[in-house]
Chain A
Amino acid sequence: MNFTETDEQVALRAAVADLGRKYGYAYFTRQARTGGRLTELWQEAGALGFIGVNLPAEYGGGGAGLYELSIVLEELAAAGCGLLMMVVSPAICGTILARFGTPEQKQRWLPKIASGSAIMAFGITEPDAGSNAHKLTTVATRDGDSWVLTGRKIYISGVDEAEAVLIVGRTADSKTGTLRPALFAVPTDAPGFSFQPLEMDVLMPEKQHLLFLDEVRLPADALVGEEGAALLQLFAGLNPERIMASAMAVGSARYALAKAVGYAKERTVWSVPIGAHQGLAHPLAQVKIELELARLMMQKAAVLYDAGDDMAAGEAANMAKYAAAEASIRVVDQAIQSLGGSSMTSEVGLAAMLANVRTTRIAPVSREMILNFVAQHSLGLPKSY
């Protein structure tokens, strides 16, 4: 066991934090409120090698691991400007392509994803099936050398910024007729592919979308990985997603906690700063502990993932996502209580953050699905569904 980060990890943290300070929460909220994107930050982070730090060096990545990628997102979020599409483009899509793509697919996508010059979105959730891969109704059928995809997706992040979407669909087994999950890289300009933004009450520059796939015809090599093994491949990408979602929640909570602590040290009523009163000090100390515990589980999951232990990483990633969501909600709530009325102003922006961290209890996987997983897999309790 080692809880000491390497010199390089410490230096990466510092460099990303510096970059984050240049943009900050004011940039994030300004872009979100005016319908802008985080393009400048994304491109600068990409040029510095931060976006693709986890991807193989031979395809333009940093050759490091998910731990390093989680450092990047945690530090950007801690500066107030987390990049949601890092959860998707390098973490889910980059990982799946790097592990299961053909050399041609890797060559086509990974250098662009790593440099940040292209974003790949990820589409699994459907209006009826949710994210249950066994019930997806987006179906791919073989037609000669092509695949033809038809279906609908919902809550797909950043499609408007993406060059392609990695779509989770299902293919029919020619012998048995059973449908099995399969992954397809679908360019956003493919004929038959369309999308529209969903109006959301969450202040984020990245938009959510409804996708329509109407007989989208794709070449044979749009299929990523093997037809039959897609579920395994899917989970290889979903563990990084959970770890990165945790990193973003932990970073955002660090931002909110720093705001609250700064205020509690400065704001003086009568003779002492309000942070001297246990009514405010203890709740902040409590959420600090909860946040550090969540962060520790997130780091454990990343280390296990990088060590190649997918099973153990899966359990830790689920627990980390649960803990990070709960901790970040509690932290932002307590930060709001510490700042009082000013926390509700647009200038401070903590009220807007409340909806953001609250989302992490639902996405990318709900608290209840994580509890199901832990009940069944960690505790061996009987299945409920």
Chain B
Amino acid sequence: MNIVVLVKQVPDTWSERRLRADDSTLDRDAADAVINELDDYAIEEGLRLQEAHGGEVTIVSMGPQKAADAIRKALSMGADKAVHVTDEALRGSDGLVTSAVLASVLGRTGFDLVILGSESTDARMGTLAAMLAERLGVPQMSFASKVETDGSKITIHRQADYGYDTVEGALPAVVSVVEKINEPRYPSFKGIMAAKKKPVETLSLADLGMDASQAGLAASATQVVSFANRPPRAAGTIVTDEGDGGAKAAEFLASRKFI
């Protein structure tokens, strides 16, 4: 089975993340870059399906030079090869542009199954799977907490508030996964050493037959118009329990619409 896993490098969720003052795009220098957390689960699922059904796992990532680190991590977990799309003109691309670029890459690699995390921790749009499936003309199976396939048909548990739906579709397909799906492996030392020798194909927009005018912030349908920094955390309210502590706690939660 030809499995492609999409990987994105994002700023570390635990560090302070910022947007750039000049064009409101992500400030990649402000925080450590790490692999998007949900992508670890996507890679793990790809590797498990490969172990069960054979074939190859290819990592595809679009991002700056530094994204090579995220690709290397994916390869050290056990993926076979990778495609890295990197081009200065891609900076600031939104979901629509990204999906067009990735669809073009997937046209080159071919695929039976595309797996990706259901969202990235930086943009948090969660729309890429749908856009890709539409562009590729294949079914989208989203929020999977379990994936089973016989090589031609695919069945997933689609995670929902009330439990899960069982959804069935035909391959090829695009599947987005949630963290409930598995426990990602750690790269082993052998995996780390082997990653060095695995092929990584680097592609520019021109290699994909795309023009710089079709990409980047200027070509994007969505843009950040303005933003404000999060206000500093205000001092909390201290409630003295005079026998009505429970009611006051409930009142507070209700005032914030938590209950």
Given contacts A8-B196, A11-B195, contact A53 B189 (CB under 8 A): yes
Please determine whether A11 and B190 come into contact, CB atoms closer than 8 angstroms.
no
- What's the minimum C-beta distance from B200 to chain A, rounded to whole angstroms? 12
Q: In the complex, A7 Cα to B190 Cα: how many Å?
A: 14
Given contacts A11-B72, A14-B73, contact A48 B193 (CB under 8 A): no
Q: Give the bracket for the number of chain A residues in contact with chain B.
A: 10 to 19
Q: Which residues of A contact B188 (CB under 8 A)?
A: 15, 47-50
- What's the minimum C-beta distance from B187 to chain A, rounded to whole angstroms? 4
Interface of A is mostly: helix
Interface of B is mostly: helix
A-B contact number at CB 8 A: 41
Please determine whether A15 and B187 come into contact, CB atoms closer than 8 angstroms.
yes
Number of B residues, CB within 8 Å of A:
12
Q: Which residues of A contact B186 (CB under 8 A)?
A: 15, 18-19, 48
Q: In the complex, A19 Cα to B72 Cα: how many Å?
A: 18
Please determine whether A49 and B189 come into contact, CB atoms closer than 8 angstroms.
yes
Q: Which residues of A contact B190 (CB under 8 A)?
A: 49, 62
Given contacts A7-B196, A8-B196, A11-B195, contact A48 B189 (CB under 8 A): yes
Instruction: Confirm or deny: B76 has a beta carbon within 8 angstroms of a beta carbon on chain A.
Output: yes
Q: In the complex, A350 Cα to B99 Cα: how many Å?
A: 50
Instruction: Confirm or deny: A64 has a beta carbon within 8 angstroms of a beta carbon on chain B.
Output: yes
Please determine whether A62 and B189 come into contact, CB atoms closer than 8 angstroms.
yes
Q: In the complex, A15 Cα to B190 Cα: how many Å?
A: 12
Question: Which residues of chain B in 96-112 are interfacial with respect to chain A, using CB atoms and an 8 Å cutoff?
Answer: none
Closest to A51 in B: B189
Given contacts A7-B196, A8-B196, A11-B195, contact A64 B189 (CB under 8 A): yes
The residue among A7, A12, A15 with the most chain B CB atoms within 10 A of its own CB is: A15
- What's the minimum C-beta distance from B13 to chain A, rounded to whole angstroms? 13
Question: Which residues of chain B in 74-122 are interfacial with respect to chain A, using CB atoms and an 8 Å cutoff?
Answer: 76
Chain B: residues with CB nearer than 8 A to chain A?
Answer: 72-73, 76, 186-190, 192-193, 195-196
Given contact pairs A11-B76, A48-B188, enumerate 18 new A-B contacts (beta carbons under 8 Å).
Answer: A8-B192, A8-B196, A11-B72, A11-B192, A11-B195, A12-B192, A14-B73, A18-B186, A19-B186, A48-B186, A48-B187, A49-B189, A50-B188, A62-B189, A62-B190, A63-B193, A64-B189, A68-B189
